[in-house]
Amino acid sequence: MRIGLIAASVMLLVANLIATAVVLRSSTATARQKAIQSIFVWLMPLLGAFVVITFHWLDHRNQGPQPERTGLDGSEIDAGLAARHDGHNV
């Protein structure tokens, strides 16, 4: 997992550098447009990470202790099996 994270970070860094070079080399954009576009290129990954972390945190926060599911005879039901068969014993 660590190698994948490092590889993804390097790929993101290279992509951002290329995008920044493309923006700065543009002959049709003004200096202000180039600055705003460069800032946008570097802030979008941060915004995406913030959104993902926020949704993950909210999902984790909203999950409380899960009650154990039991069958009619009081035996435990495998949650995966119950979900696949709508709770009916097979």
3-state secondary structure of 79: helix
pLDDT tens per residue, range 32-55: 999 999 999 999 999 998 999 999
DSSP letters, 31-70, are HHHHHHHHHHHHHHHHHHHHHHHHHHHHHHHH--PPPPPB
pTM flag (> 0.95): no
Q: Is the pLDDT of residue 77 over 70?
A: no
Secondary element (H or E) of residue 25: helix 2-25
Residue among 63, 65, 68, 90 nearest 79 (CA): 68
